[in-house]
């Protein structure tokens, strides 16, 4: 009779009633295979949760843009290395005296974990452009794969119009009269299937601050 009673309830009752009544005292149903936490962020919809927010940044930094990347925006090399999804968030801190603002850009992408070390090494080398002197950054966060501070070394040619500067590497830069090109810093974060690049530029570039933000960004990436 107990079996028949339970069978009728399964037919007539709602799922909530079934769970509360008839399954009590019987063998528990097999549990579903859990989905790895990182799978939730390996889609475009999940990536914004990994981005830094106002609470993570100095108060002067304000959001200036957020963008979910599509495959059409990604180069063939990234696709060959297994690019799956991407997201970018940018922030700016106004500077006094009419100077350019300090800008922070956080780029996030999902790749197969086996490819992250090679991608980090490639970006670390390729992002070092001519005309700057470089200082390697080291951090205590195990997920910070590398970083550098790039110091602009420029001269203003004699007799040149205001705002015309030449980088030490020979590239001519012409801008406004507020000053020469500024330093920039970059830190790479890799954890599980997540690859991130945090880049700061502007007159107030602060490598120590950027390294701390990279550690915060790494902390937002779920464990596998």
58-93 burial, b if ≥16 CB within 10 A, otherwise e? Answer: eeebeeeeeeebeeeeeeeebeebbbbbbbbbbbbb
Element (H, E) at 121: helix 116-126
CATH number of the 37-219 domain = 3.40.1000
pLDDT in tens, 121-174: 999 999 998 888 999 987 778 899 889 999 988 777 676 666 677 776 666 666
Residue 203 corresponds to which tokens in the numbers above? 């007159």
Q: Where are the domains of the chain?
A: 1-31, 37-219
pLDDT in tens, 54-94: 999 999 999 999 999 999 999 999 999 999 999 999 999 98
Asked if 181 contacts 78 with a C-beta cutoff of 8 angstroms, the reply is: no
């Amino acid at each position: 009779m107990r079996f028949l009673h339970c069978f009728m309830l399964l037919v007539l009752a709602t799922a909530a009633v079934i769970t509360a009544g008839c399954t009590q005292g019987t063998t528990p149903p097999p549990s579903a295979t859990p989905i790895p936490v990182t799978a939730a962020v390996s889609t475009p919809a999940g990536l914004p949760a990994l981005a830094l927010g106002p609470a993570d940044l100095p108060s002067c930094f304000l959001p200036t843009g957020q963008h979910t990347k599509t495959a059409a925006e990604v180069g063939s090399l990234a696709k060959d290395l297994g690019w799956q999804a991407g997201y970018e968030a940018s922030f700016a801190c106004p500077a006094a005296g009419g100077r350019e603002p300090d800008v922070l850009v956080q780029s996030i992408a999902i790749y197969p974990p086996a490819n992250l070390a090679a991608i980090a090494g490639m970006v670390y080398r390729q992002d070092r452009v001519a005309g700057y002197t470089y200082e390697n950054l080291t951090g205590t966060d195990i997920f910070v794969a590398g970083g550098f501070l790039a110091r602009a070394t420029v001269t203003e040619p004699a007799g040149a119009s205001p705002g015309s500067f030449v980088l030490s590497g020979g590239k001519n830069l012409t801008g406004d009269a507020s000053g020469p090109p500024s330093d920039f810093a970059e830190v790479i974060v890799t954890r599980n299937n997540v690859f991130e690049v945090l880049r700061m530029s502007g007159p107030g570039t602060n490598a120590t601050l950027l390294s701390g933000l990279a550690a915060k960004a790494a902390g937002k990436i779920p464990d596998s």
